[in-house]
Amino acid sequence: MQSANSDLQLWEVDLDQSPEWIEERSSSVLSADERSRSAEADHVRRRRLVARIALRIAVAQALDRAPGELTFRRDSSGRPWLDSPDDARAPLHFNLARTGDCCLIAVSRAGSVGVDVEHVVAVPEVEAIVRTRFAHREAGEILTREGVDRLRAFFNCWTRKEAYLKARGVGLMAPLDRVVVTVGDEQPSFVSLYDDDPSAWSLFCVPLGPERVGAVALRSVGRPGGAMLRPETLPLDGSG
C-alpha cells in the first residue's frame, strides 16, 4: 500500500525488460540524450534505460501528462528535475534509486524526497566502514550483531542516510556520521541531523524481502516520524 496521504507515492520497477520493449519505449518516450550509448555493458545500459522510462511514466502519471512531453535537466549533483511547467498544485518532487534489476521511484507533493535501495550482500570491510564513517551510536548497535542481522543493520543505516542526503541534494560527500539514524528493521527514525531539524523529516523503511533494503526520506513537517512504506508496481504501459 502507499502512504496514508496521496501526496507521497512509492513505485517499484522490474528493470529486467525485453530488448524489444526497451528499444520501442526508448524511441517513443526518451530524448536523444537519454538514449545515447555509452561505454556501459549492454545489460547495464538496458537497466538504465528502463529506469529512465519508468521515471518519466511515474512523473507523467502524477502530472496527468504524456511521458514523452516531459523535459528533464540535471543539477550539478546529477539529480534530474523538471524543465517544464508543473500544474497549479504543490511542486512535484521525485527521486530514483536502483540496484540490480530493482528500481524504486518516490514521487511527492509534500516536500523534498529521497530514496535508496541496496542488495544485502557480504561487505568484507563492513566493520571498517562502520567505525570510520558512521556515528558512534550506530556503530555500537551494528557491531553487536552478527551475520545477516549485522548486514541488514548496516544497509538499513546506509540507505536511510543516503535517502536523506539525496533529498537534501548533497549526496555522499556530506558527513555520514552527522546523519544519525536507527538501524533496526522497524521504526526507522532520525536521531540527529547536522544543521537540520529531525522533526521536519519523515523516514520510511521499504519492505523488499530478505535480499534488499530500501528507505525513503521525506521533508514534511507534521507527518509521523517513521513508518513502513510498501511500494506498488508501476504499470510500465503508462496506465493505472
Tell me, what's the pLDDT at 187? 87
Does residue 121 fall inside a structural domain?
Answer: yes
Does residue 91 fall inside a structural domain?
Answer: yes
Task: Based on the fold, state whether residues 71 and 46 are members of the same structural domain.
Answer: yes
Tell me, what's the pLDDT at 238? 55
Q: Which residue has the cell 544497509?
A: 155
Q: 36 pLDDT exceeds 70?
A: yes
Percent of the chain past pLDDT 90, that is, above it, reads 73
HSE value, Cβ hemisphere, 13 Å, CA-based, for 89: 11
What is the band of 174 on the pLDDT scale with cuts at 50, 70, 90?
Answer: confident
Does residue 89 fall inside a structural domain?
Answer: yes
The tens digit of pLDDT for each residue in 93-135 reads 999 999 999 999 999 999 999 999 999 999 999 999 999 999 9
Does residue 239 fall inside a structural domain?
Answer: no
**Burial, 129: exposed, middle or buried (Cβ in 10 Å; 0-12, 13-18, 19+)?**
middle
Is the CB of residue 101 less than 8 Å from the CB of residue 14?
yes
Tell me, what's the pLDDT at 1? 36
Last residue of a domain, one of 91, 110, 129: 110
8-state DSSP, 52: H
Please give the tally of structural domains in the chain. 2
8-state DSSP, 224: -
The tens digit of pLDDT for each residue in 46-103 reads 999 999 999 999 999 999 999 999 988 877 767 778 876 566 567 899 999 999 999 9
Last residue of a domain, one of 80, 110, 140: 110
Task: Based on the fold, state whether residues 90 and 119 are members of the same structural domain.
Answer: no
Tell me, what's the pLDDT at 85? 58
Task: Based on the fold, state whether residues 86 and 138 are members of the same structural domain.
Answer: no
Closest-CA residue to 176 (of 144, 141, 121, 129): 129
Task: Based on the fold, state whether residues 121 and 181 are members of the same structural domain.
Answer: yes
Residue 182 domain boundaries: 115-232
Task: Based on the fold, state whether residues 56 and 27 are members of the same structural domain.
Answer: yes
Last residue of a domain, one of 61, 90, 110: 110
What CATH number corresponds to the domain at position 43? 3.90.470.20
Task: Based on the fold, state whether residues 127 and 82 are members of the same structural domain.
Answer: no
Does residue 238 fall inside a structural domain?
Answer: no
**Burial, 56: exposed, middle or buried (Cβ in 10 Å; 0-12, 13-18, 19+)?**
buried
Task: Based on the fold, state whether residues 199 and 94 are members of the same structural domain.
Answer: no
Task: Based on the fold, state whether residues 101 and 122 are members of the same structural domain.
Answer: no
The reported pTM is 0.92
